[in-house]
């Protein structure tokens, strides 16, 4: 069964269990007369955490699968001479780091409720609160595992890029796996605030949701920049080497162009050719991201914003229709 189907089935099973449990408990979410189920904080928060608990393991699975796919693409493009570089790996964060993210749950709860004594009052631990806390701890652990995987894969790709024996400044299809991995991981993190955006209708979440969005933006930025850090450095080194060869040729060194991309030319380039070539190389970008990939990333950034605006619009329309 695919990971997305497993996540959907797991979320459905949790919701079914919560529904069955609520049949045995009177007024499980302490709803006031006239309130709708969707407006109830415990119910809405439970749905959010259920979605997050289903999403994070699936996101980690697809992150690792994308890494394997992009490594295979690099192996095809670069050939056997880059096999040693493709074997380069970094040391991942230890697994216990993921457990530290469990501390996010009480911090979030205190920010929302602002009353530590609430958790010790009779009747608090009904279906809704037990649902949110129990599944929230699991979601936070899954979040930590995703952070560890994101940083580990990002550093691995950076190490591979830095270890490449040679890079081609002109023909750049070999950069696509690096940018694909970076953009995919950034997208996975940008979708997390979209899951939480539905809670912006509740005032206490006006602190929690932006804080979560900022944290995910940080993880997404790391996922976008870290995988390409090594290859950026290798492109910069290749540019410096090419410019050094051209400058040496301009000074009259006969063998200088033997290590240049101009070495394959049959005729000896003149001074004007060397000057033009130096200007062209100097203007080459060391960024692996093309204009198309930048546009795709901007569209990715629009997804959370679109979900927030869409949620606000739907809430406004429902309120207008029910008046």
**CA separation for the pair 189, 168 (Å, rounded):** 31
Record the pTM. 0.85
pLDDT for residue 38 is more than 60:
no
> H or E element: which one contains 195?
helix 176-196
pLDDT given at position 39: 66
Q: How many CA atoms lie within 13 A of 55 on its CB side?
A: 19
Neighbours of 44 (CB within 10 A): 20
pLDDT digits (tens, 9 = 90+) for 251-266: 888 677 777 777 766 5
**CA separation for the pair 160, 82 (Å, rounded):** 9
∠ CA 253-255-261, rounded to 5°: 110
**CA separation for the pair 232, 283 (Å, rounded):** 15
Buried/exposed 233-258: b ≥16 CB within 10 Å, e otherwise: ebbeebbebbeebbebbeeeeeebbe
pLDDT for residue 28 is more than 60:
no
Question: Mean pLDDT over residues 50-78, rounded?
Answer: 94
Answer yes or no: are the C-beta atoms of 202 and 108 closer than 8 Å.
no
pLDDT given at position 43: 81
More confident residue, 23 or 284: 284
pLDDT given at position 61: 96
Task: Place 34 in a pLDDT band, splitting at 50, 70 and 90.
Answer: very low
Q: Tokens for 50?
A: 């259920």
> H or E element: which one contains 303?
helix 291-322
- Cα radius of gyration rounded to whole Å, the chain: 26
Q: How many CA atoms lie within 13 A of 180 on its CB side?
A: 17
- According to DSSP, residue 153 is labeled H
Q: Domain residue spans in the chain?
A: 3-229
Task: Place 130 in a pLDDT band, splitting at 50, 70 and 90.
Answer: confident
| Lowest pLDDT segment from 99-113, 168-182, 205-219, 262-276 | 262-276
More confident residue, 159 or 129: 159
Residue bearing tokens 């795709």 = 296
Average pLDDT, the chain: 84
Q: Tokens for 189?
A: 């993190």
Answer yes or no: are the C-beta atoms of 138 and 177 closer than 8 Å.
no
- According to DSSP, residue 198 is labeled G
| Of 289, 80, 292, the residue nearest 178 (C-alpha) | 289
| Lowest pLDDT segment from 29-38, 95-104, 152-161 | 29-38
Q: Tokens for 109?
A: 């709860």
Tell me the CA end-to-end span of the chain in Å, nearest whole number.
45
Portion of the chain with pLDDT greater than 90, in percent: 36
What angle, 0 to 180 degrees and rounded to 10, lies between the N-to-C axes of helices 205-225 and 127-163? 20
């Amino acid at each position: 069964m695919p990971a997305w189907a497993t996540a959907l089935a797991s979320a459905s099973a949790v919701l079914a269990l919560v529904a069955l449990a609520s049949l045995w408990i009177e007024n499980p979410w302490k709803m006031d007369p006239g309130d709708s189920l969707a407006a109830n904080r415990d119910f809405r928060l439970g749905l959010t955490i259920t979605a997050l608990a289903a999403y994070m393991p699936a996101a980690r699975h697809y992150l690792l699968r994308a890494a394997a796919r992009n490594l295979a693409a690099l192996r095809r493009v670069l050939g056997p001479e880059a096999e040693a570089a493709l074997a380069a790996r970094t040391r991942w964060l230890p697994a216990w780091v993921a457990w530290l993210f469990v501390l996010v749950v009480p911090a979030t709860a205190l920010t929302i409720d602002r009353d530590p004594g609430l958790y010790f009052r009779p009747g608090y631990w009904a279906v809704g609160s037990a649902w949110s806390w129990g599944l929230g701890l699991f979601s936070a652990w899954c979040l930590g595992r995703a952070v560890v995987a994101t940083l580990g894969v990002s550093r691995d790709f950076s190490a591979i890029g830095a270890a490449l024996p040679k890079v081609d400044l002109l023909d750049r299809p070999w950069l696509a796996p690096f940018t694909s991995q970076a953009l995919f991981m950034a997208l996975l993190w940008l979708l997390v605030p979209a899951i939480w955006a539905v809670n912006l209708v509740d005032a206490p979440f006006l602190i929690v949701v932006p804080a979560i969005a900022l944290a995910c933006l940080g993880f997404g930025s790391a996922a976008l920049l870290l995988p390409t850090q090594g290859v950026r450095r290798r492109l910069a080194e290749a540019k410096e080497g090419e410019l050094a060869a051209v400058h040496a040729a301009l000074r009259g060194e006969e063998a200088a162009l033997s290590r240049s991309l101009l070495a394959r030319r049959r005729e000896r380039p003149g001074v004007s050719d060397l000057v033009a070539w130096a200007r062209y190389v100097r203007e080459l970008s060391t960024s692996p991201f093309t204009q198309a990939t930048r546009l795709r990333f901007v569209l990715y950034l629009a997804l959370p914003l679109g979900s927030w605006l869409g949620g606000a619009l739907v809430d406004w329309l429902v309120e207008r229709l029910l008046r």
